[in-house]
Structure 1
Amino acid sequence: MNGRPTALIAEDEPLLRDALARQLAQAWPELEIVALARNGREAIRLFDARLPDVCFLDVHMPGISGIEAARHIGRRAHLVFVTAYDQYAVQAFAQGVLDYLVKPVEMERLAETVARVRERLRAAQPAIDTEALLQQLAAQLQRGAAPAPLRWIRAQVGQTLRLIAIDDIDYLRSDTKYTLVAWRGDDGQPGEALVRTPLKELLAQLDPAQFAQVHRSVVVNLRAVSHVTRGDNETADVHLRGRKDVLPVSRSYLHLFRQM
């Protein structure tokens, strides 16, 4: 191929989009990023205008998904999917067809993916025909396939995007239109952040063996529980290790702690 290789990045989260661009600059210095798209529709428009060699596409984007954008691109570019949900990537990768990265993107994994794509470009290999597989994945997205259990939650704290590991979360509490995430950092100090995802939606993606709803507005990490104190016959309070917070247990969920 002649000249520098070019790429498009499509990711609806600005901080993650910029972070991937910086990581690519480190892993693939000669790669020229010619387009940054905020959604699938913009990815299609920018691809048709710039015709990059490689497209890094977030699977889940509002409106047109990364899968649908990839179907439009077809074999005109090499595709790399970026996903927070392993199930889509695993199904595709098990067949040795699609390259993918799992968010948060790790440099080691990115370097391996870059090496494969660079080799294809160097050897002038045509992009892989993935239409049948993409059609299958698009159908799964339309059916609203349940995502795999969450591994982390991204939360905006001022100008900083925090990637909070699920195991570091002590509890989640519904807060009007937001969800409060109470977590513990590497130094063991407690922290809090608000995310826009409703509590009900987050709960559906959490491992039920680890997280339990104890109140209509509270979900607790059972591993963070120090002890439970009973009130009257219809209520209880959950106490957490290293926190002063006391979480209410409503009557509907008291059975979870009958033997405590």
Structure 2
Amino acid sequence: MIASALIADDEPLLRQRLAALLDRLWPELRLVASARNGPEALQLFEEHRPRVAFLDVQMPGVNGIEVARRIGGRAEVVFVTAYDQYAVEAFRHRAIDYLVKPLDEARLAETVDRLQARLRQPPAGGGPAFEAALERIAAELRERITPPARLQWIKASVGNTVRLIPVDEVIYLRSDNKYTLVVWEGGEALIRKTIRELAGELDPGRFVQVHRCAIVCLERVSHFVHGDGESGELFLKGRSDRVPVSRSYQHLFQAL
């Protein structure tokens, strides 16, 4: 079935991952727009009028629920959420499709089947029931979900001093035995936090784990190169050092 779609999410790798999966599961679907935030999603929707909209619940400027309200039933909506407990309950009973991050191909295949079945029927439109469902979802999320605080500074020992490293200046982090090496614009330092701890504190829209021992800032990545077997390496802008990418994370860079 031929249809058009918009993807709106502030995480570039998730947009790429979703687009790649849709290309495999629904080759006839045309991705006509990709938005980084709510306002951009609304602008691109009006320009392209897609039949399907994949909307991240938490986006800068205007969240996914508000975007769905303004679309007003002119497209089939699928929400994408990072919260796999309360949010799932909020969506499950509202007859509105949802996907949980990280995206699962089998789960997306189910959503594709439902979307294709709906698109074969006459448009149902938004209406009061759709508006009421969105309002209940928004209320439940406001009540139950508090987005995690993002790390702004990393405290590290540099020689005999303790330095506060702005997260905005961090290029990548790599585990080194019991320590984690922080590489930033001003140099390098070791901290005692693990990669696992840091992965949960850093902004996922800017930082992504690419190996069990490495996290990289996406803004600093130049390109990805496949290595021998199923490994790979990330090259960084203006630097000679490289960051390893393991098999489990290679899918993140398929579109680079």
Query: TM-score, structure 2 length as denominator?
Result: 0.57
Q: What is the aligned partner in structure 1 of residue 130 from structure 2?
A: 130
Unaligned 5+ runs, structure 1: 154-172, 195-216, 222-242, 244-260
Q: Distance in 2 between matches of 1:218 and 1:45?
A: 45
Deviations 1:199-220 (A, max 9, x none): xxxxxxxxxxxxxxxxxx9767
The secondary structure found in structure 2 opposite 1:76 is coil
Percent pairwise identity: 48
Q: What is the aligned partner in structure 1 of residue 75 from structure 2?
A: 77
State whether residues 90 and 141 of structure 2, in contact with CA within 8 Å, keep that contact through their aligned partners in structure 1: no
Q: What is the aligned partner in structure 1 of residue 35 from structure 2?
A: 37
Q: Distance in 1 between matches of 2:30 and 2:101?
A: 22
Question: Counterpart amino acid of 1:80?
Answer: V
The number of residues matched between the two structures is 177
Say if 2:146 is the partner of 1:146.
yes
1:202-241 equivalences under 5 Å are none
Q: Which moved more, 1:120-129 or 1:27-36?
A: 120-129
Q: What is the aligned partner in structure 2 of residue 104 from structure 1?
A: 102
Say if 2:34 is the partner of 1:11.
no
Say if 2:15 is the partner of 1:26.
no
How far did residue 126 of structure 1 move?
Answer: 2.0
Q: Distance in 1 between matches of 2:2 and 2:21?
A: 17
2:165 aligned residue (167, 176, 187): 176
How far did residue 55 of structure 1 move?
Answer: 0.3
Query: TM-score, structure 1 length as denominator?
Result: 0.56
Q: Distance in 2 between matches of 1:94 and 1:46?
A: 28
Deviations 1:33-52 (A, max 9, x none): 11111100011111112111
State whether residues 8 and 35 of structure 1, in contact with CA within 8 Å, keep that contact through their aligned partners in structure 2: yes
State whether residues 27 and 111 of structure 1, in contact with CA within 8 Å, keep that contact through their aligned partners in structure 2: yes
Q: Distance in 1 between matches of 2:118 and 2:63?
A: 25
Question: Counterpart amino acid of 2:133?
Answer: L
Q: Distance in 1 between matches of 2:62 and 2:115?
A: 25
The secondary structure found in structure 1 opposite 2:72 is helix
How far did residue 132 of structure 1 move?
Answer: 1.2
Question: Counterpart amino acid of 1:33?
Answer: L
Runs of 4+ in 1 over 6 A off after TM superposition: 179-184, 188-194, 217-221
Q: Distance in 1 between matches of 2:82 and 2:145?
A: 14
Q: Distance in 2 between matches of 1:70 and 1:133?
A: 11
Q: CA RMSD in A?
A: 3.9
Unaligned 5+ runs, structure 2: 156-163, 184-190, 196-212, 214-256
Question: Counterpart amino acid of 1:67?
Answer: I
Larger radius of gyration: 1
How far did residue 90 of structure 1 move?
Answer: 1.7
